[in-house]
Amino acid sequence: MEQSRKKLRLCGAVTLSMTLAGFGSAHAKEVTDADILNDATITSQVVTHGLGTKGQRYSPLKQINTATVKDLVPIWSFSFGGEKQRGQQSQPLIHDGKMFVTASYSRIFALDAKTGAKLWKYEHRLPEGIMPCCDVINRGAAIYGNLVIFGTLDARLVALDKDTGKVVWRETIADYKDGYSFTAAPQIVKGMLITGNSGGEFGIVGRVDARDPMTGKLIWTRPVVEGHMGYKYDKDGKQIENGISGTTNASWPGDLWKTGGAAPWLSAYYDPDVNLIFIGTGNPAPWNSWLRPGDNLYSAATVAINPDTGQIVWHYQSTPHDGWDYDGVNEFVSFEYKDPKSGQVVKAGGKADRNGFFFVNDRSNGKLLNAFPFVNRIDWAERIDLATGRPVYKDENRPGNPFADGGGDGQKGSVVFNAPSFLGGKNQQPMAFSPDTGYFYVPANEWAMDIWNEPVSYKRGAAYLGAGFTIKPLHDEYIGALRAVDPVNGKIVWEVKNNAPLWGGVLATAGDLVFYGTPEGFLKAINAKTGEEVWQFQTGSGVIAPPVTWEENGEQYIAVVSGWGGAVPLWGGDVASRVNYLEQGGSVWVFRLHKS
């Protein structure tokens, strides 16, 4: 018996040793800078928000294609559980056989990517009094080294050991009591963690931060409201001035720049070809534009930042002096095309803006190359002047000044009917670009609004709008439309209409497929060249998140998060009543081809 006990102890020691060795090996498979830079071509992983630093959301995988997609079936689904459902907008990350996916109320899960088994969960403890503008969503995480990092609704960053889920560090972005929050997926650029912030409806100051992802300590910070000082930080955390953003009072009157909004509340993207970070900035505060004459830099813009210095290299304002809450946060996606006149390859960036225009800029210097509508109705501007890069406004469609019209009683300005609505021709739902077709695939919406201005003054932590609104559908038969857009000639090649607004992102693949979800609960596959629907699956709740794809052991997988919510049911006015039958949920679904 003693010999048996010795053998059992030896066997247990060997087993423990093998287990620890296995753990150590798994732990050692860290995410590197090379993994991130090559994410668009390494098909066994998804380690960036956007399936590559340029944000094209394109995969070279083609096992699932127009001929085989009919055999696509679900292989597992995982529920986020509990009563904390609401909107689910997360893009999963995949690395080393694991999936990392965030959920509403600042939660994150690690799952076995092949089976859906839960490996660990972290649930952030949120304080009372958080003030997220547009639901309690989270759009995803960043992964670097042995850490997975995500932001929280109380404007904090949390880094966890990706193998154990244990907290490694926490840092505060800003004070949530001032109206700050955070919902975007952070990005890793040149070994730095890049984040923006949320809270433009509360008179916060938008800024972009670079941090050491292993410690959370600041490297530089760049405000995106003109007049504020940027800073860099030495190894001891000492703050060093790094130049004022723009010129104080050049485009903002009085002290309004101190509460100017312009929150960069979506993810940044990075192009190593020109060594620039691209991030969109949100609405100026308050919404009432009569209170802040001027262009109000750098709100409603694409901002290009040098990651090595934190300096703004160029900016392009898609809606100067925004009076409709059009923001400019939508993703700026790097792509190339051949100039039809010169035959030269152009390094460009494309952006489907909330204001209804699609913009194409030279991504090295911001010069406007093309601008055209991607929605059917635009009331606020006649066109974008390609020579000046500025909109030609329809002044009669700017909400009225409450102190000069609408009776002049200082209570409410004249009401204007305007399209698109402030929820935009496209909002947070990311588009995709296919280098195979040369098309952008844009989840667009056709809707309008009644909007008016009201008096408002800034109060810490309170809503800072100075406007009222009601959103209205433009058509009885549809609101959403997935559109294939040619960025060179400005044409819509095809469209697939949808009754409810489209609020989820898009994935394009070399299998000539485009995947996207609908609020009605469907994940759909469309022929990328023709617009023909070739497959669909009902997930049980609305899809307002972007799909991803990867391969393991020679098999291609598709994943998407399902869970209805977000801004539409909260802010959607007459549109919200059209979709009030939709049920909430919270789950992730994974698919592959059926094995016969």
Angle at 486 between CA 63 and CA 70, to 5 degrees: 25
Say if CB 36 and CB 54 are below 8 A apart.
no
Task: With H, G, I as helix, E, B as strand and everything else as coil, classify residue 60.
Answer: coil
Q: Are strands 58-59 and 506-509 parallel, antiparallel or unpaired?
A: parallel
Tell me the β-bridge partners of 454: none
Q: Distance between CA 541 and CA 560 in Å, rounded? A: 12
Beta strands in 446-573 (DSSP E): 447-453, 467-473, 480-485, 492-498, 506-509, 513-517, 522-527, 533-538, 548-552, 555-562
What residue type is assigned to position 553 of the chain? Answer: N
CA dist 69 → 62, 72, 514 (Å): 10, 5, 11
Q: How many CA atoms lie within 13 A of 595 on its CB side?
A: 7
Of 35, 39, 163, 325, which one is the catalytic site residue? 325
C-beta of residue 456 within 8 angstroms of C-beta of residue 465: yes
Torsion over CA of 341, 343, 347 and 348, rounded to 10 degrees? 30
The Cα–Cα gap between 82 and 103 comes to: 12
Helix (H, G, I), strand (E, B) or coil at 291: helix
Other beta carbons within 10 Å of 366 = 21
Residues whose CB falls within 8 Å of the CB of residue 582, separated by 6 or more in sequence, listed in order: 500, 519, 520, 521, 541, 542, 564, 569
Tally the C-alpha atoms within 13 A of residue 451's C-alpha that lie toward its C-beta.
Answer: 28
Chain centroid to Cα 386, Å, comes to: 27
For residue 342 the two structure tokens come to 């010169």
Return d(Cα 51, Cα 16) in angstroms, integer: 37
Please report, for residues 108, 339, 356, 359, 487, the alpha-carbon distance to residue 370 in angstroms, rounded to integers and kept in the order given: 40, 12, 14, 6, 8
Closest CA to 358 of 325, 395, 318: 318
Phi, psi for residue 418 in degrees, rounded to 5: -145, 140
For residue 412, give both structure tokens.
Answer: 């409410």
Q: Is 379 a catalytic residue?
A: no
First-to-last alpha carbon distance for the chain, in angstroms, is 51
Catalytic residues: 325
